[in-house]
Structure 1
Amino acid sequence: MSISKRKKIYLILIVSVMLVSVLTALLTKSSFASNEEFNDLSEYEDALVTVTSNDSFTSIYFNNNIKDVKELWQQADTVVRGVPLEPRKHLHQATFTPLQVSIVLKGELKENVINIYEPSDIDFTSQKLSFYYSRSGYLLMENDREYILFLKKLPVPEGYEKSEEEERSYLPLSTLYAKYPVGSTWEGDIISSESSDFTLKDVYGYDILTRDDQILSKYLDFRNQLEQHDYQLNMSE
């Protein structure tokens, strides 16, 4: 193979990598397009709930194949306890939620308030109805409840310089296994596969939404382990 041909192949590879990075950045940005602020989630208890399961979208940003609590801990960039603040902001395919951090269990934070992009949102476009979209089983944090959260840094292309706001912004590591209400009394229920017509009021107080018994069992097992440690988890990396 000639040197000039090798150079062409090399350039094509570089351009391809750059294009993938740009497309990933555009997808991330489009997912977080700003729309409308709201406060108390209970105000939308009549919103019709839809549980979306787009594996290709979910796998880009989240890991729902966590095997155990130790892996959950190891893969998280930051683990915190905190309470959601107001106002929250409805975005496209996500909700922007400020979080008042009470305890940092893993990682280092420069500020006590961070931003969480939660993978669920409320659609306000209809004047008669509102719709609540749960992305792969995730439920938005409820006001005045404390949570333990396993978080990862906001993904950006290599070489991209984050703004100050982006530096304090995070995603849940998983839509299923990254959020645990402290002191939850939820015993665990699967949503009926026979009914596709239910409201946010019907699932208020749930920790996750799933029709899969194995997913529910794993979630409850993880939660029980965290409760046994009084949520003060400290695992070697």
Structure 2
Amino acid sequence: MTNDKKTLRVWDPVVRIGHWTLVIAFFTAYFTEDDFMDLHVWAGYVVTAYLLIRILWGFVGGKYARFSNFIYSPSQIIGCLKNLITRKPQHYIGHNPAGGAMVVALLLSLAATTLTGLKLYAVEDNKGPFAVSATQAQTHIQSTSLISVANAADDEDDDEKSERNGNERRIDKEGEEFWEELHEVFANLTLLLVFLHILGVAVSSYIDKEKLVKVMLTGKKDVDDTYQ
């Protein structure tokens, strides 16, 4: 067995450009939630668009971009983490088992963040891909309320109208608070995973003697026979 180095192109432009675009878009969205809502929304759309592309690319992309290349069993993931802790480098051309698990976790958390964000956007402003569903839900609430009032009495006084409108506003407010809280939970979870990802990259780069950030910029990695 020889240890002659050779350079392989590991990450294609879809992965590399998408990775850094995702970084910029996520942090833009995270820090512009209240003061610059239009920017927040558009950054969220960029995240959503890349997620859809990356998921598709995980099935039809290059060898190292495919899910089949970096989804490992729990025992392999644990083994990889043990090797990092004991400083026993285990080299992979693509993502190592721990890195692959982090990619999947980030994709799932980002998907939940964008879905809840789009739902909140529909509930608050009746905009976005879920706006029609939000309108239908509001119409259903109003129809149900009108039917109930009609069954109770043919003539409705001002107090009953005010109570009905108050109930509708309460339902809307509760729905808005639910999606807002859920959106914040997943956004903060994603942020935590991002920090863990950065920590993992730093530790792995140090122990495995690899320049992982440079590899994600250039797409090229120097490998030898110890890589798998």
The TM-score with structure 2 as length reference comes to 0.24
Q: If you compute each CA radius of gyration, which structure gives the higher value, 1 or 2?
A: 2
Normalized per residue, which structure has more strand?
1
Normalized per residue, which structure has more helix?
2
Q: Which has the higher contact order (CA 8 A, sep 6+)?
A: 2
